[in-house]
């Protein structure tokens, strides 16, 4: 059963998530005549980490966007947290923490205003929202810069803020595309506390840095250009 | 699902806060309208207008000023990832249509607060028409906002956005402009406001609003799909 998401602060721990959390069978996505993904299949249990590797253009970001319900697959069967995609995408939204190439933050609002906006979209308001925003900003050591406009922040600080946005509603599934990009050593350590293996969420991590993420992987998916995906 | 009221307030509040902070749309719309009135004043070489000419000058100016705001309505969502953020949230997507259309109505009303008194100052000898004109302005704004929000959301992903919006929007708002100018013409008649067919034109405006608001709710979800 899918957990009811009335209050994201009480949101699913991994025990409430159906296992396996992700099932892909023959997943295909075409862009015109070109297949970005072809025949991807895997099963990932709740609470596990999948690391996705592959060269530029292999379809890693496409895979992540399909899992996030932002892109429709061209073929194959997909189940994420018990929801069949794309038919039941509406049930899944709100349970996903998505960290993509763009931080999904408005440049002219402050970090705190951005997080307040995202909290409200996810049904979190009032004192509970403020407490959660304080909590994630402190965890990312962004509490002192939280009232600065995003446009005034460095790329690394924007990435920290994007990570705060990603985990704000305590998602059951984290979809992370190059999560360490623009982060210094301290930032990477702080990010690990929010989106690392202890995050109590199923994780899919797209990376070009296998040395950093392979030790955390329960499964590895290698995507190649024009090749069938290989799961290890 | 997040209650639609909360999501609506979040999106509308975000848009208004960003506009107040950056002033990207409203000042451009107001400056365009005022400059156009100046051009009409010297171009027509008239210090007083009435009837259909006054109505035409007012609505042509307001319409083209509105296009400037409509062009920019979804730019931040496109450039700063707002579409993805909203598509990831457990909300009814038609809330985005409602919030954007409401923001546009607020921009248009603010524009008219500046432009209409200046129009009266430049071209009218009496302000008696301004009271009943408010009803026409509000109904026309609703229609412009509903149509403009739909077209803007479709055009925002195109590189030719600035060209597409007027090309698609202007033919669609012809019925709205006919009704708005038809309702305004007797109000600005020489010798004081008249109300010939005023109610009929208001009903046409209301019907246009209803059709495009319902159309927006019906199709907006599909417009946000990849």
Residue of B nearest to A96 (CA): B88
Beta bridge partners of A50: A204, A219
- The confidence score (pLDDT) of residue B66 equals 97
DSSP B142-185: HHHHHHHHHHHHHHTTSTTHHHHHHHHHHHHTHHHHHHHHHHHH
Residue of B nearest to A105 (CA): B80
What tokens does A71 get? 């892109």
> Which residues of chain A neighbour B7 with C-beta distances below 8 Å?
120-121
**Strand duo A96-99 + A173-177: pairing:** parallel
pLDDT for residue A224 is more than 90: no
Residues of chain A contacting B, Cβ within 8 Å: 5, 68-72, 90, 93-94, 96, 98, 100, 102-109, 113, 117-118, 120-123, 125
Residue of B nearest to A169 (CA): B89
Q: What is the pTM of this model?
A: 0.89
3-state helix, strand, coil in chain A (%, to 5): 35, 25, 40
Cα→Cα distances A11→A5, A8, A199, A200, B177, Å: 6, 5, 13, 11, 50
- The confidence score (pLDDT) of residue A1 equals 33
Query: A118 and B89: CB-CB below 8 Å?
Result: yes
Of the pLDDT bands very low, low, confident and very high (cuts 50, 70, 90), residue A17 is low
Residue A134 buriedness (CB in 10 A; 0-12 / 13-18 / 19+):
middle
Of the pLDDT bands very low, low, confident and very high (cuts 50, 70, 90), residue B226 is low
Of the pLDDT bands very low, low, confident and very high (cuts 50, 70, 90), residue A11 is very low
- Secondary structure of residue A14 in the 3-state scheme: helix
Neighbours of B26 (CB within 10 A): 19
Dump pLDDT digits (tens) for A40-63: 999 999 999 999 999 998 899 999
pLDDT for residue A23 is more than 90: yes
Taking residues A200-222, what's their average pLDDT?
92
**What average pLDDT does the structure give for chain B?**
93
Q: Do the domain assignments include residue A106?
A: yes
Residue of B nearest to A104 (CA): B81
Dump pLDDT digits (tens) for B126-184: 888 899 999 999 999 999 999 999 999 999 888 888 899 999 999 999 999 999 999 99
- The confidence score (pLDDT) of residue B136 equals 97
Find out whether B7 and A120 touch, Cβ atoms under 8 Å.
yes
Q: Do the domain assignments include residue A206?
A: yes
Taking residues A26-35, what's their average pLDDT?
91
pLDDT for residue A7 is more than 90: no
Find out whether A41 and A229 touch, Cβ atoms under 8 Å.
yes
Q: Do the domain assignments include residue A158?
A: yes
Residue A76 — φ and ψ, nearest 5°?
Answer: 95, 175
Q: Do the domain assignments include residue A3?
A: no
**Distance from B102 to chain A by nearest Cα, in Å?**
17
Q: Do the domain assignments include residue A120?
A: yes
**Distance from B16 to chain A by nearest Cα, in Å?**
11
Kindly give the residue spans of alpha helices, DSSP state H, lying in A97-154.
111-121, 126-139
pLDDT for residue B43 is more than 60: yes
Rounded to 5°, angle at Cα A181 from A176 and A184: 125
C-alpha B60/C-alpha B170 separation (Å) is: 11
Choose the closest CB to B88 out of A72, A96, A108.
A96
- The confidence score (pLDDT) of residue B108 equals 98
pLDDT for residue B22 is more than 80: yes
Query: B10 and A68: CB-CB below 8 Å?
Result: no
> Which residues of chain A neighbour B3 with C-beta distances below 8 Å?
123
ipTM of the complex, rounded to two decimals: 0.88
Q: Do the domain assignments include residue A197?
A: yes
C-alpha A194/C-alpha A179 separation (Å) is: 11
Residue of A nearest to B2 (CA): A123
Choose the closest CB to B84 out of A104, A107, A125.
A104
Choose the closest CB to B7 out of A104, A107, A121.
A121
Query: A120 and B2: CB-CB below 8 Å?
Result: yes
The helix or strand, by DSSP H or E, that contains position A79, with its residue range, turns out to be strand A75-80
Contacts of residue B172, defined as CB under 8 A and 6 or more positions apart, other chains included, come to B147, B151
- The confidence score (pLDDT) of residue A15 equals 44
- The confidence score (pLDDT) of residue A230 equals 67
What tokens does B177 get? 């402009």
Dump pLDDT digits (tens) for B66-125: 999 999 999 889 889 889 999 999 999 899 999 999 999 999 999 999 999 999 999 998
* CA-CA-CA-CA dihedral for B8, B11, B13, B18, to nearest 10: -160
C-alpha B220/C-alpha B154 separation (Å) is: 9
Neighbours of B60 (CB within 10 A): 14
The domain total for chain A is 1
Residue B17 or B196, more confident: B17
Residue of A nearest to B81 (CA): A104
**Distance from B39 to chain A by nearest Cα, in Å?**
35
DSSP B180-210: HHHHHHHHT-TTS---TTHHHHHHHHHHHHH
User: Which CATH number do you get for residue A82?
Assistant: 3.40.50.300
The helix or strand, by DSSP H or E, that contains position A91, with its residue range, turns out to be helix A89-92
Of the pLDDT bands very low, low, confident and very high (cuts 50, 70, 90), residue A229 is low
Neighbours of A127 (CB within 10 A): 7
**Strand duo A49-53 + A202-206: pairing:** parallel
Query: A121 and B18: CB-CB below 8 Å?
Result: no
**Distance from A144 to chain B by nearest Cα, in Å?**
21
Cα→Cα distances A216→A52, A160, B106, Å: 12, 20, 51
Radius of gyration of chain A (CA): 17
- Distance from the first to the final alpha carbon of chain A: 29
Dump pLDDT digits (tens) for B61-74: 999 999 999 999 99
Dump pLDDT digits (tens) for A91-112: 899 999 999 999 999 999 999 9
Query: B2 and A94: CB-CB below 8 Å?
Result: yes
- Which range marks the domain in which residue A154 is found? 8-231
- Secondary structure of residue A94 in the 3-state scheme: coil
C-alpha A194/C-alpha B65 separation (Å) is: 47
Taking residues A66-87, what's their average pLDDT?
93
Q: Do the domain assignments include residue A75?
A: yes
């Amino acid at each position: 059963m899918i957990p009811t998401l009335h209050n994201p602060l009480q949101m699913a721990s991994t025990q409430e998530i159906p296992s396996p959390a992700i099932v892909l069978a023959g997943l295909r996505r075409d862009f015109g005549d070109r297949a970005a993904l072809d025949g991807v299949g895997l099963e990932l249990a709740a609470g596990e980490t999948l690391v996705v590797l592959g060269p530029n253009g292999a379809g890693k970001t496409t895979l992540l966007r399909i899992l996030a319900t932002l892109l429709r697959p061209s073929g194959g069967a997909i189940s994420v947290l018990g929801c069949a995609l794309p038919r039941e995408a509406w049930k899944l939204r709100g349970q996903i923490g998505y960290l993509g190439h763009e931080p999904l933050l408005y440049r002219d609002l402050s970090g705190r205003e951005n997080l307040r906006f995202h909290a409200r979209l996810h049904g979190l308001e009032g004192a509970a929202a403020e407490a959660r925003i304080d909590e994630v900003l402190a965890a990312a050591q962004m509490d002192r810069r939280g009232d600065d406009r995003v446009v005034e922040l460095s790329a690394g600080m924007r990435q920290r803020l994007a990570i705060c946005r990603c985990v704000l509603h305590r998602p059951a599934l984290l979809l992370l595309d190059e999560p360490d990009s623009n982060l210094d050593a301290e930032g990477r350590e702080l990010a690990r506390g929010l989106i690392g293996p202890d995050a109590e969420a199923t994780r899919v991590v797209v990376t070009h840095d296998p040395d950093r993420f392979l030790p955390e992987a329960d499964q590895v998916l290698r995507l190649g250009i024009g090749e069938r995906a290989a799961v290890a | 699902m997040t209650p639609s009221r909360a999501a609506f307030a979040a999106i509308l509040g975000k848009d208004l806060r960003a506009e107040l902070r950056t002033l990207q749309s409203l000042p451009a719309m107001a400056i365009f309208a005022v400059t156009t009135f100046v051009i009409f004043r010297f171009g027509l070489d008239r210090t007083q207008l009435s009837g259909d000419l006054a109505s035409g000058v007012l609505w042509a100016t307001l319409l083209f000023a509105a296009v400037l705001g409509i062009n920019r309505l979804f730019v931040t969502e496109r450039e700063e990832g707002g579409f993805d953020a909203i598509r990831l949230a457990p909300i009814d997507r038609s809330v985005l249509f409602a919030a954007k259309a409401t923001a546009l109505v607020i921009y248009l009303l603010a524009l008219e607060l500046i432009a209409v008194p200046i129009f009266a100052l430049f071209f009218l000898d009496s302000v008696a028409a301004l009271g009943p004109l408010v009803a026409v302005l509000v109904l026309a704004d609703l229609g412009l906002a509903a149509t403009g929000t739909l077209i803007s959301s479709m055009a925002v992903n195109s590189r030719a956005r600035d060209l597409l919006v007027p090309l698609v929007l202007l033919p669609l708002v012809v019925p709205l402009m006919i009704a708005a100018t038809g309702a305004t013409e007797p109000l600005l008649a020489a010798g004081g406001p008249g109300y010939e067919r005023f109610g009929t034109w208001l009903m046409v405006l209301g019907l246009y609003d209803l059709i495009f608001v319902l159309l927006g709710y019906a199709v907006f979800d599909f417009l946000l799909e990849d």
